[in-house]
Amino acid sequence: MSDSSKKSPSQATYQTSDDDAFWLTDLYPDAAALFRHEIIDLKEVSKDAIVVLDANVLLLPYEFTSASIREIERIYSKLKREDRLVVPGQSVREFYKNRSKKIALIADAIDGAIERAKRQLFEKSIPLLEEDEDYVEAKSEAKRYLDLGRTISSKLELVNRKLKDELVGDRVSIIYRNLLSDCVIDCDLPDSQARKELLSEVKRRASLEIAPGYKDQNKDDYGVGDFLIWKTILSEASRRKSHCIFVTEEQKSDWWIKRKGTFQPRPELIDEYRRASEGKSLHLVPLSFLLATFEASKEVVEQVKEAESIQKVDVRQLDAVRILRKRLRKEALHNSEFADLVSKRNGIIEKLALLDRMQNGLQKIVEHGENSSEDEADFTDRIGSIGRLRSMNIAELSDVEDRISQLNNQWLKLSRARNSAVYLGDISSRSLDSESSDDEA
């Protein structure tokens, strides 16, 4: 089956119907309302809109300064008091699933600092300079530096131990425990039949590329996660009949119309929310926009924007890393075959050298002319057998050389592709290591 004819899991299991021919009519059932609906400005709706938090927004504060975390706590507290803060259950589950990875990255950074703090400046003494005053003074200062490094590393090891032992006891988790527990809204799935119906809807929307979640249709859950969050938003829209600010760091085109990054929310999301809320507006914003809207300090907003920009680069890097890892797997297979072929070629060359020596030795015995006719006939047969064996090895060597030449050409192509992937993603070795360690997970 060619790539163009391959089906995703959702496409393979969803059976289209005649009604799907009218999918655009079903997507926008009230055509006149598409003209009538007016999107209210974000600043205006922020006075009474519900604010819904995505999982990636819950995870982002692990990159923040203390000042930024305090501002988030202030704004979330205000929204909670006004009964406007909504945290979908699926957002909480995804946060909880990935929180330990965030803590582990912090611990990795501390491990790196510990390793650097323990590093000696002088790996070994230089006997020739033992009487040089400057050298002796430098060694003395280096010892003080090493003693200070040991003190620093012991303190950092305590920090790492606390990170490891205090499960869900970090500052971010404590704030969420105190503020968000009463703000969690779960999608109502009372039984297996409700789950089947929701999954069927996810697959139908994915087959028609209706937002959100169809970009995740090849995942094991077919993209149910995004749709559960969206269903929660629609449920609150129907219940509250209010404007909505969905705070998300999502970048994919199943949430956004893309133009040099995110441009506008997908129009089907805007209209579906309008219908559920009876005419209200939907806004999708990153966390930095929410903080600016609720008048966080300029320094905090800039720090959060910086963290978001790093995350956006990481998303682009992740795609490039995946491409690169595929290239590297091909290179590994290539290298293994290449090594086997080189070993085989060397073995054939050694065998040919041995056959040449045997053939030359027998030829000299025959040419000496002191053998019986039977021995001479036997030597002649053996020379002929060696010649035939030699011809076979020469033919095999030619095949091996041809394959080595092909692999060399492939290597050049793989190298160019790998370098292109590295360039496009600006991938550091740390990014690649991180992706490799998470591959099985």
Residues 315 and 319: their CA atoms lie apart, in Å, by: 7
Residues 126 and 124: their CA atoms lie apart, in Å, by: 7
pLDDT at 218: 75
Question: Do 65 and 114 sit in the same domain of this protein?
Answer: yes
Handedness of CA 4, 6, 7, 12 (dihedral sign): positive
Q: Enter the DSSP assignment of 20.
A: G
Nearest to 287 by CA among 52, 100, 90, 80: 52
Question: Do 145 and 272 sit in the same domain of this protein?
Answer: yes
Domain-embedded: residue 88: yes
Domain-embedded: residue 101: yes
CB under 8 A, 24+ apart: contacts of 278-281: 278/241, 279/37, 280/40, 280/237, 280/241, 280/242, 280/243, 280/244, 281/38, 281/39, 281/40, 281/45, 281/49, 281/243, 281/244
- Give every CB contact of residue 173 below 8 A, 6+ residues apart in sequence: 99
Residues 47 and 84: their CA atoms lie apart, in Å, by: 10
> Hey, how many other C-beta atoms are within 10 angstroms of the C-beta on 212?
26
Question: Do 234 and 332 sit in the same domain of this protein?
Answer: no
Question: Do 335 and 292 sit in the same domain of this protein?
Answer: no
The pair of three-digit structure tokens given for residue 101, joined into one six-digit string: 């990875």
Domain-embedded: residue 350: yes
Q: Which of 296, 331, 349 is the last residue of a domain?
A: 296
Domain-embedded: residue 8: no
Is the whole-model pTM more than 0.75? no
Residues 333 and 327: their CA atoms lie apart, in Å, by: 10
Q: Enter the DSSP assignment of 62.
A: G
Residue with tokens 């292109």: 420
pLDDT at 327: 64
Q: Which residues, listed in sequence order, are joined to residue 258 by a DSSP beta bridge? A: 262
Domain-embedded: residue 416: yes
Question: Do 243 and 172 sit in the same domain of this protein?
Answer: yes
Domain-embedded: residue 5: no
Question: Do 265 and 328 sit in the same domain of this protein?
Answer: no
Q: What angle do CA 347, 353, 355 make, to 5 degrees?
A: 100
Question: Do 214 and 330 sit in the same domain of this protein?
Answer: no
Domain-embedded: residue 379: yes
Question: What letter represents residue 88's amino acid?
Answer: P
Give the total number of structural domains in the chain: 2
Question: Do 89 and 210 sit in the same domain of this protein?
Answer: yes
Distances (CA, A) of 402 to 142, 151, 390, 405: 58, 61, 18, 5
pLDDT at 86: 97
Question: Do 337 and 247 sit in the same domain of this protein?
Answer: no
| Positions of the chain with pLDDT lower than 50, given as ranges | 1-12, 422-441
Distances (CA, A) of 135 to 125, 131, 140: 10, 8, 9
Question: What letter represents residue 134's amino acid?
Answer: D
Question: What letter represents residue 275's amino acid?
Answer: R
Q: Enter the DSSP assignment of 164.
A: H
**Cα 434 → chain centroid:** 8
Question: Do 288 and 353 sit in the same domain of this protein?
Answer: no
Question: Do 62 and 132 sit in the same domain of this protein?
Answer: yes
Handedness of CA 209, 215, 218, 224 (dihedral sign): negative
Residue 262, judged by CB atoms within 10 A of its CB (0-12, 13-18, 19+), counts as buried
Domain-embedded: residue 4: no
Q: Whole domain around residue 398: which residue ranges?
A: 322-438
Question: Do 378 and 249 sit in the same domain of this protein?
Answer: no
pLDDT at 160: 84
pLDDT at 440: 36
Q: Which residues, listed in sequence order, are joined to residue 245 by a DSSP beta bridge? A: 51, 283
Residues 176 and 171: their CA atoms lie apart, in Å, by: 9
